[in-house]
C-alpha cells in the first residue's frame, strides 16, 4: 500500500500528539523511568502547534493510502543556531520520529528521514543530529544506515546509590 509524507498542518496536531505519545510509551517509557509518557497527549498541544507553525522547525506526517489517510508516523525537527562554543556549526536536530510498528521496514522511516535531511540542507545545516537511547539498537542501526555516526556519549548515575 502507498503512503504519503507531507508537512504537518494545524489539523494534524492531534495526530502528532497521539503519535508522539505512542513514541514516549514505546521508547522512553521502557528506557527512562523519569519520562512522563502522558505528556504529549496531555500537554503537548502548544508544543506541536509550534512545531507546525515555526519556519525553523519541521513537522512531517506519514499517512496511509491518501494524504488524508490513517496517520502511520511522524517526524519533528528543528534548527539550532550556532553558539559561542561551536560558531561554525549550523545544526538540524531530528527531535523525534516514530513509525507505527506494523509499518516498520516498509520504507516509511527512510522517507521521513530523507525529507528531514533535505529540509536540513535547505536550511543551510552543516550537521544533522539525532539522539537515541543506547538500548534502542534498532533505532541506532536505522540512523547509522542513514549516515549518522556517534559523536558523544552521555553517561548517568544515581548519585544517591552510584548506579
Q: Is residue 112 part of a domain?
A: yes
- Structural domain includes residue 73: yes
Q: Does any domain span residue 160?
A: no
Q: Is residue 77 part of a domain?
A: yes
The mean of the pLDDT values for the chain is 95
Average pLDDT over residues 40-67: 95
64-68, 116-120, 131-135: segment of lowest average pLDDT: 64-68
Q: Which domain holds residue 112?
A: 3-145
* CATH code of the domain containing 65: 3.40.630.30
Please count the structural domains in the chain.
1
- Please provide the DSSP assignment of 32-101 as one string: -TT--TTHHHHH-HHHHHHHHH-TTEEEEEEEESSTTS-EEEEEEEEEE---SSSTT--EEEEEEEEE-G
pLDDT interval class at 66 (50, 70, 90): confident
Residue 5 confidence class, pLDDT cut points 50, 70, 90:
very high
Considering the domain boundaries, does residue 150 fall inside one?
Answer: no
C-alpha cell at 37: 509518557
The model's pTM: 0.93
Mean pLDDT of 49-61: 96
Amino acid at each position: 500500500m502507498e503512503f504519503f509524507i507531507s508537512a504537518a498542518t494545524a489539523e494534524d496536531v492531534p495526530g502528532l500528539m497521539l503519535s508522539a505519545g505512542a513514541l514516549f510509551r514505546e521508547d522512553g517509557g521502557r528506557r527512562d523511568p523519569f519520562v512522563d509518557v502522558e505528556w504529549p497527549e496531555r500537554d503537548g498541544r502548544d508544543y506541536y502547534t509550534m512545531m507546525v507553525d515555526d519556519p525553523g522547525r519541521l513537522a512531517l506526517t506519514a499517512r496511509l493510502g491518501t494524504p488524508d489517510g490513517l496517520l502511520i508516523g511522524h517526524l519533528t525537527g528543528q534548527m539550532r543556531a550556532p553558539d559561542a562554543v561551536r560558531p561554525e556549526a549550523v545544526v538540524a536536530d531530528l527531535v523525534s520520529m516514530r513509525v507505527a510498528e506494523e509499518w516498520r521496514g516498509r520504507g516509511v522511516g527512510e522517507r521521513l528521514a530523507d525529507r528531514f535531511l533535505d529540509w536540513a540542507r535547505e536550511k543551510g545545516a552543516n550537521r544533522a543530529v539525532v539522539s537515541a537511547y543506547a538500548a534502542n539498537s534498532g533505532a541506532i542501526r536505522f540512523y547509522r544506515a542513514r549516515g549518522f555516526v556517534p559523536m558523544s556519549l552521555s553517561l548517568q548515575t544515581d548519585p544517591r546509590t552510584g548506579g
